[in-house]
Homo-oligomer: A and B are copies of this chain.
Amino acid sequence: MTSLADVARAAGVAVSTASRVLNGSTHPISAATRARVIEAATRLGYSPSALARALVSRTSRLVGVLVSDIVNPYFSVIARGADDVASRAGYVTMLSNVDRRTTTEINRLRTMRDYRAAGVIFAGSGHVDDPQADDLAKAVREAREQGIHSVSLTARDLGCQVITADSQAAAYEITEYLISLGHRRIAFIEGPPGMIANRERTDGFLACMSDADLAAEAQCLPGGFDYEAGHAAAMRLIARPPLPHAVLAANDEAAVGALAALRQAGIDVPGEVSVAGIDDLRVARFVGLTTVSLPLYEMGAMAARHIVDNPPCAGGDTTTTVLSHRLIARETTAPRPG
């Protein structure tokens, strides 16, 4: 491995001079020297040690992304957005799966701090009344004191920048759409209990039903964010007639599970019952699912942009940015006949 000292020697200059020309400092350098250094560097195939650089400058070009599970397309889209921005800016993405465990989040945040990450993106939603929330918030605060940016992609109380979508409004609007189609009795398949993301969506659904004087017609079923949970919830619906006019799931994957259960039971969707989800993941396109598109990619991208664009943590920037969503009507919903 050729170091800066090698380059300096080959060019016949001091390391400081070599450093100055090679890291684009504004320090004045004669054209001749500059040329000699550049020549030597390219000839020797010099590439600076990111470690040494980070050690001395006390900040690396590393951005951390904490997801619940990268296999979940919700998170992989976010990660893609973040990595696109990060790598375009010469940063590299550190990814960690935390499986919704706050203690794991804390540990990973600490690890990333040990690498002097420029910033960390919290993609997962966190739990309602999480007893560990304070510890995480403290870790975030400590990280900030070392100049590490934190960005949360959901409105959880981390005491950091938030860049998010209004999923409560999203749930509200798709419920409204279902109602506008003439559906009254609507079942909502909830996400994992205790997750903030689930509560927001459930609240949005309930608020809309209540605003439409349909609170009595609202039915919430325990579910989850995955296919199996949606499938199981729909089976319970089928077992206990009458069927609702429409079923909304807390996310697309569960909606697809519900859709499959309904159709397997010979129920016509959207003829007999309409089905909708939230997120607009790829699978929603595959099955023609009506849903609401959340700006996942943009959230990841914008969070990364915040990190790479700002100098090491200005301070307690606690701004919340809400990116917009939009309803996508496809083929699993139809007006209520009659």
Where the two chains meet, the residues of A that have a C-beta atom closer than 8 Å to any C-beta of B are 1, 47-52, 54-55, 60, 62, 65, 69-71, 73, 76-77, 79-80, 83-84, 87, 92-97, 108, 110-116, 146, 227, 256-257, 260, 282-283, 285-287
Contacts and interface: CB of A to CB of B under 8 A. Distances in A.
A97 B113 contact: no
A92 B112 contact: yes
B97 A95 contact: no
28 contacts: A1-B146, A47-B110, A47-B113, A49-B55, A50-B111, A51-B60, A51-B114, A51-B115, A51-B116, A52-B55, A62-B115, A70-B70, A70-B83, A71-B73, A71-B76, A71-B77, A71-B282, A73-B76, A79-B95, A83-B95, A84-B97, A92-B94, A92-B108, A92-B111, A92-B112, A93-B96, A227-B282, A227-B285
A227 B48 CA distance: 42
B97 A94 contact: no
A273 B60 CA distance: 56
Contacts of A60: 51
Contacts of A282: 71, 227
Given A80-B69, A87-B97, A48 B92 contact: no
Contacts of A112: 92
Nearest to A260: B286
A77 B71 CA distance: 6
Contacts of A76: 70-71, 73, 76
A54 B52 CA distance: 9
A93 B95 contact: yes
Nearest to A95: B95
B87 A80 contact: no
A256 B282 CA distance: 12
A333 to B, nearest CB: 17
A69 B70 CA distance: 12
Nearest to A112: B92
A227 B71 contact: no
B96 A94 contact: no
A66 B262 CA distance: 40
Nearest to A48: B114
A65 B70 CA distance: 13
Contacts of A52: 55
Name the residue among A55, A71, A76, A97 with the largest chain B CB count within 10 angstroms.
A71
Contacts of A55: 49, 51-52, 55
Contact of A286 (B65, B110, B111, B227): B227
A114 to B, nearest CB: 4
A179 to B, nearest CB: 28
Contacts of A111: 50, 92
Contacts of A92: 94, 96, 108, 111-112, 115
A288 to B, nearest CB: 8
